[in-house]
Amino acid sequence: MPVIVIANPKGGSGKSTLSTNVAGFFASRGHAVMLGDADVQQSSRLWLGLRPAEAATITTWELQADLVLTAKPPRGTTHVVIDTPGGLGGWRFKEVVSRADKLLIPIMPSIFDMYASQTFIEQLREVTKTSKTKLGIVGMRVDERTIAASKLREFMDKLDVPIIGFLRDTQYYLHMAAHGLSLFDLTPSKVQKDLQQWQVICEWLES
């Protein structure tokens, strides 16, 4: 059962946006998905509460946000996505990373966000040296053709962590979140440009 963890110590980096859409992708493929929310803000749980009954089913766990190790996915779950809090560190950091088959790190392309994430990424690389956990960066709210995207690539090359893809700055994500929906719940023709951006991320998730 693959476990995908979305993590970044900086608040407002796009963790919940990425988590809900990764869960939505797996659900759209017919998988039995659990979206676990380890953040005290419980943004992903709120999103699940807004999700319409006719949308592809995504379940969650019942636990306090801190107690990830005590959580068990509902019976029949085939794919797990975990949304983590900002400031993730200490035993919680090691606990969540130990669960991950793949770990996605959303990063905004500003110098402040990149440097705020540097120590965390270096810690991740150290912790995952002896595991099979795959790390990947997703550039958030950025056009991959811009100078900002190039700077992010240069920065990540130094840290030796691959950039899996870029997601543009669009109001679609805000509107979808308000209704408990992901990009993969919409008519493809309406979000064709965004689905093209997700294609490489989806391929990485399924590889």
Average pLDDT, the chain: 89
What's the pTM value of the predicted model, to 2 decimals?
Answer: 0.92
Beta strands, E only, the chain? 3-6, 33-37, 58-59, 79-83, 102-107, 134-140, 163-167
CB atoms within 10 A of CB 24: 26
Q: What is the CA radius of gyration of the chain?
A: 16
Q: What is the pLDDT of residues 135-149, one digit of tens each?
A: 999 999 999 999 999
Judge contact between 166 and 142, C-beta under 8 A.
yes
Please report the sign of the dihedral spanned by the C-alpha atoms of residue 74, residue 79, residue 82, residue 83.
negative
Q: What is the pLDDT of residues 121-177, one digit of tens each?
A: 888 888 888 788 999 999 999 999 999 999 999 999 998 899 999 999 999 999 999
- Domain at 3-206: CATH architecture: 3-Layer(aba) Sandwich (3.40)
**Rounded-to-integer distance, Cα 16 and Cα 106, Å:** 10
**Rounded-to-integer distance, Cα 35 and Cα 204, Å:** 19
Domain ranges of the chain: 3-206
